[in-house]
Structure formats: structure tokens, C-alpha cells
Amino acid sequence: MQISRHLYEIKTTPDIINVVNMSNIKVPGKFLFRIDTERIEAGGELSNTHLVHFVIGSLTVTPRYGSMLGGQRIHIGGPCILIDDYITIRYGENTETYDCVRENDFKVTCVTPMFYRTGDMKIELTIKHERGTSSKYVGVYSTSKAANEIKIGVWSDIFSIVPKTIEKSGELCNSWYSTDISLSLVPDDHIQACPCTVQQALFDTSRFHIDPMCNKFSSVDSNINCIYSGNAEHCVRLNTPGEAGFGRQCCYDNTGILMDANDPVGAGTLQRYHYLGDNDRNIPFLSNFYYDIVPHHECCLQRSTREININIVDNSCNKFLERRPASDCRRYQPPRPAFASGDPHMKTLDGLPYTFNGAGEFVLLQDIRKTFTTQVRLEQVEDKIGNKRPASVFTSLVAGTVNVTDVVEVQLNSIRVADVLINGNKIDFSDTNWLDLKGIKIRDENEVFLYNRGKLRMSFENIVRII
């Protein structure tokens, strides 16, 4: 059997009906069509370099996203796999390889190991053929920084083991304190302050995001939601690590007011390790859980929940708050809103409203240092029969910070509302509705790409939020 691949730039033209007779080997054949994109893209085409082939196209990885805890079955397609081929996969910079299983001529299944990093990583699939040659293919797989945002996965949560007695909780708390006191104190004044209300926190997504372990929108069991946040109703966390990789959690009561040192059992605190990771010493989620969440659980939550009618925090919780001060909002400054929508109507950051009906490519927003830039494309509106109308609309937006963030682009798509490109590569939202990229968080609210409605929210950390 021989399978050939060839690209035809016929898109949605009437020539599509002739494609069965357009084979590059001049022999009619069977064709499979992908109809949800405007442009046909290259698959796993190969070039030959001695005995090893290197990929020109890319692998298809499903699901594209998974938990850093591993155990995820991923299906990989692109190359042809013969029955006697031996298949291995390598993830990121790791030199270790893992065996994969051939499912059929076009698909293999691999199981992910545990990762100690998050975000996109290159995967390399190697197929060793019976005749002694081998082929290498590359693709991209991403581990999530918030496991419960993944729609498909094996692992989702980690829990602290509850000591049998309150005395044991005290021993664990004292042991943690004696170790932590030898480290530098977490500086409160150098870390972004909390929003004063939950409404401010939900709006300020350029600096804060919803805590996946405690939030009022959670679909998990109520006995698990906020299990490490006392009587808090909703919490948020800093988007980016502060000085020396520190983090901050902000928690709110059932009235939407920030909980502070007056309610230490439920209040958020400064944290030594940002839960999204920061450097080689900070394993995403796990370092924060072990050095910040569990000590709070043992020093404050365990002791308060076991002592009936407790009115004051005992010495153990005071020790914890000495090392991890409760969060407050004394230095918080809310962000300024601005908007541009419709045909289009705009309002600047200083409150000036106006309408602009030009066509072309323009700078919509730029900071005074000209490092962060948002550019837009405006095109003249056409009616159903193709006549030009005296108005223009946004058809594309691109934004990023030079040498700091990825560059994100949103383009209108005549078939499925819009396409999102990161550094020029199209992103698939079929496995997740939340992406955590370099300096950018993207959330597909109300499943824009599935139901052709809703909002796409992009937050550039510590800079701006775009909806």
C-alpha cells in the first residue's frame, strides 16, 4: 500500500467537485476533507536525511492538554505506522523515552509520565522501521497549571492526610515553623495587594485569576471546594509570581468582602511559592501545596475545626501568620476600563468616547515604553450582496509584549467565528477552555468555538485584559 499526500489550494471553490481526479500521481482515489478551517495545512510530510527522516509538518495530538501529574492517554496521528514498527516518544528536554502502542496504520497511543513543569513542550515521536531506518516527527503537548480546567484527564486533585489527633497537627505545625524560620521572610509590601471586594477581583483578571481550589463557580463537590480555605466563599490568586517567586491568595466571605487578619482561619495569605511555578526550585502546584497550603491546614484549619466554639486563634495559627501574613487591600488600585466595539465605537482609558470608521491596520493600545502593543485590522462592511457600507468592523487583533509574552492573534473565520494563533500557530480549544501561555491567559467563555457565541477573554499579566 502506498499513501501519497498533496495540497490543493481550491478551498471552497467549485473545483472541489473535481478533487477525486486531481491526484498528484494522476490516478483517481479517495480523499478525506477537513471542513472547519479556511486553509488546508501540511501534515506529517517528510524529508530524507541519510537514514533518518525529519518532519516538515506536525503531529496531531489528542487530547492536546493534560495534567502535569501524568497518566494521560494521548492519541497521536500524522505518519503511517507499519505493523512491525517500534514507536517511542520523548517529552520536552527530557532524554528519557517511553514506548507507545500502534493502534492502526495511522494512530499510536502513548501514556504521559509525571512532569515537573507546565505549559507547552515539544514532543518527538520516533518510528524505527524493520529495515533499519527510522523516522522522527515533532508535535506539541501541553501540561496544565490548573488540572481541573482540563476536560479530559486521569488525575485531578491532591489531598493532605489528616492527622488523627490535634496534638499531631500541632507537632507538624511546629516542625514546619522551625524549618521555615531559617528562610527569608515573605515581604508583604513588595507583593501586589488584594482587591477589596470579589467584584473587583473578578474584573481585575490582568493581575488575578480564580483559585481553582476555591471558587463560587466550581462544579466540584461542595465538600471539596474551598477545603483548604476555611469559611471562604471565593478566592483568587496572583497571575504572576512576585519578588523571589512569592505568591498571594485573596479570599472573600459570603458578602463578597476580603477576609483579612480579623478572620485568619479563612483569610488568604502571602505564599512562599507561587502555585503556578516560577523556577527550578518551584514545582508548579506541588511546592505551593507542600510549603504553604498544608502548613496553613495543620496550623490553623485543623485546630480550629476540632476545637468547639473557638473564639481566638491559638499559638499555632499565630506562628503560621507570622511567616505568612494575611492578605489585605490597603495598597490596591483598581484597573481603568476602556473599550472598542461595534462599527467601531471606542472609549479611551481616560474616558473619552468617539467613533472611528476607517479601514486598515492601526495601533489600538500601546504603553508609554512601547513594549506592549495591541494592533487591529478594520475592514469595510459588506452587505449580503457584496455592496460596501459606510462602516467598518474589527476583523483581526494581535497583541503582545516584546521579549516578555507570546504574541496572540485573533482572526475572524467565516466558518467557525474566529481562530486564535499563538506566535503564528493556530490553537485548538477542543480539549480545554483555558490556556496558560507565556505571559498570557486565554479563556474561551461559553465555548465560543463550539457554539459560535460567547466571549474570548485574554489577560496579559500585570498589563491589560482584552475581551
pLDDT in tens, the chain (467 residues): 344 444 555 545 666 667 666 655 555 665 555 555 555 554 444 444 444 444 444 688 888 888 887 888 999 988 888 899 999 999 988 889 999 999 988 899 999 998 877 777 889 999 998 888 888 888 888 886 543 444 333 344 566 777 777 888 888 899 999 999 998 887 788 889 999 999 999 988 878 888 988 988 877 777 778 888 888 999 999 988 887 789 999 999 999 999 987 777 788 999 999 988 776 678 888 889 989 999 998 888 876 554 433 444 468 888 999 999 999 999 999 888 888 887 788 888 888 998 888 889 999 888 888 788 889 999 888 888 888 888 888 888 898 888 788 888 988 877 667 788 888 877 766 666 667 777 777 777 655 444 445 577 777 766 665 65
* pLDDT the model gives residue 153: 35
* pLDDT the model gives residue 279: 67
* pLDDT the model gives residue 438: 76
Q: Yes or no: say if 367 and 394 are a contact pair by the CB < 8 Å rule.
A: no
**Cα distances (Å, whole numbers) of residue 76 to 59, 142, 456:** 7, 14, 28
Q: Retrieve residue 382's grid coordinates.
A: 459588506
Q: Is the dihedral of CA 209, 252, 260, 304 positive or negative?
A: negative
Q: What are phi and psi of 136, to 5 degrees?
A: -120, 135
Q: What are phi and psi of 353, to 5 degrees?
A: -95, 145
* pLDDT the model gives residue 108: 93
* pLDDT the model gives residue 56: 40
Distance separating the N- and C-terminal Cα atoms of the chain: 50
What is the maximum alpha-carbon separation in the chain?
85
* pLDDT the model gives residue 99: 95
* pLDDT the model gives residue 216: 87
The full set of domains in the chain, from first to last, is: 14-149 (2.60.40.10), 166-323 (no CATH), 339-466 (3.40.1000)
Q: Helix 166-180 vs helix 315-323: angle between axes, to the nearest 10 degrees?
A: 30
Beta sheet of 434-437, edge-to-edge order = 434-437, 440-445, 455-460, 464-466
* pLDDT the model gives residue 337: 81
* pLDDT the model gives residue 72: 86
Q: Retrieve residue 332's grid coordinates.
A: 490596591
Residue 199: CB atoms within 10 Å: 12
* CA-angle at 335, arms to 331 and 337, nearest 5°: 160
Comparing C-alpha atoms, which of 140, 138, 141 is closest to residue 55?
138
390 membership: H or E segment, kind and range: strand 388-401
* pLDDT the model gives residue 358: 87
- Under DSSP, the state recorded for 448 is H
Cis ω before 63 (30° cut-off from 0): yes
Measured distance CA(147)–CA(446) in Å, rounded:
19
